[in-house]
Amino acid sequence: MTAASVPQADVINGRAYAADLKTRVHEDIKALEAQGVRPGLATVLVGDEFPAMAYERRVRRLAEDLGCHYVGEHLPASAEEADVVAAVGKLDADPRVHGILVLRPLPRHVAEVAVYRELDPMKDIESVHPMNAGLLALGRPRYIPSTPASIFYMLDRYLREAGHDPAEVYARSKLVVIGRSNNVGKPAVGLALARNATVSSCDVHTSRAGFLADYTARADILIVAAGVAGLVRGEHVQPGVIAIDVGINPVEDPDSGKVHFVGDLDFESVAARASAISPVPGGVGPITDIWLLHNTVSAARLTAFVEPAQRSLDGADIPQWDLFEAPRR
């Protein structure tokens, strides 16, 4: 990296945030174990997509490291929809499993909605079941999906550490979310609205219409979850933007053949104009992994009727499910 390309922005250290979060989740797990409850996480992986397999390995290692019970169901890409539904049903019936994650993408011949509606809502820690998705849309979620929760955990904490009042910053900010997925983009919009930000939601249609740069250029806070490597460059953002990169795009080195991950932001050019930026890897991702276990702990508490501690993971004295309203006065 040349002197001229050294990032000017604060690079948000997601790994450090995740390490703190991991300590607190581990404490919660130990507290549950003292009451005879061992949280259990299960994943359902269909096929051999590299990002999904890499995520499954990370989650497995983390669950085992924290002392959680872990079950991994791995089906071939040729598995029929009924086979996937049966795997979910088996985990629904397993009392050792409190949280279930269906890894995406599913093969095209397997309808996501058909799989999601078979999840036990109490074990649906990513809120993809219609019941949980409805609660999420109403701002009263049973569980907040791990990636959007991690985005705002990161933003809330960064703003406080930078000496700002998050509630004040959000209330005067234009916040733009790129990507409208059910598990990231849409919940992120809800979390931003709950923080009283002025929110715009963009996706591929915005880009095709030629309007995307119009929105990114006026964003005070930009969240990019489009799954397109290098989609947003420095010339697309205004000076001082806070840029959060949710993209995890595998890129193969043509010489070595090794695969590495890049984000949806062109890091160097955006960092030269931003006030803060999250990197890939090392930004939202590590927090997301821990939050998934945090939701598993919440599911174990609900199942065992154990009252949660009256504190949230962002430091406020509120239950986790009120993260929607954490910065409100």
Four-CA torsion 204, 210, 216, 222, nearest 10 degrees: 0
CB 275 within 8 A of CB 242: yes
Percent of the chain with pLDDT over 90: 83
Contacts of 55 by beta carbon, 8 Å cutoff, 6+ apart? 103
Q: What is the DSSP letter of 275?
A: S
pLDDT in tens, 149-196: 999 999 999 999 999 999 999 999 999 999 999 899 999 999 999 999
Residues 257, 16: Cα–Cα separation, whole Å: 30
| More confident call, 248 vs 100 | 100
Structure tokens at 126: 């990513």
Angstrom CA distances, 295 to 13, 18, 57, 99, 259, stand at: 22, 14, 18, 8, 30
User: Which secondary structure element, helix H or strand E, spans residue 205, and what is its range?
Assistant: helix 204-208
pLDDT at 308: 63
Contacts of 252 by beta carbon, 8 Å cutoff, 6+ apart? 258, 259
Structure tokens at 118: 């078979």
The amino acid at residue 146 is: S
Residue 5 has pLDDT above 80, yes or no: no
Of 243, 211, 245, 239, the closest CA to residue 226 belongs to 245
Of 41, 56, 123, 43, the closest CA to residue 84 belongs to 43
User: For 139, left (φ over 0), alpha (ψ -120 to 50), or beta?
Assistant: left
Residues 223, 244: Cα–Cα separation, whole Å: 5
Domains and CATH numbers, the chain: 3-13+146-285 (3.40.50.720), 29-129+287-309 (3.40.50.10860)
pLDDT in tens, 201-260: 999 999 999 999 999 999 999 999 999 999 999 999 999 999 999 998 988 888 888 888
Residues 17, 150: Cα–Cα separation, whole Å: 10
Residue 328 has pLDDT above 50, yes or no: no
CB 245 within 8 A of CB 278: yes
pLDDT at 327: 36
Q: Give 7's pLDDT tier (boundaries 50, 70, 90).
A: low
Four-CA torsion 152, 216, 240, 246, nearest 10 degrees: 40
Helices 146-161 & 14-34 angle (0-180, nearest 10) = 120
Which residue, chain included where needed, has tokens 């250029």? 217
Which residue, chain included where needed, has tokens 């985990």? 91
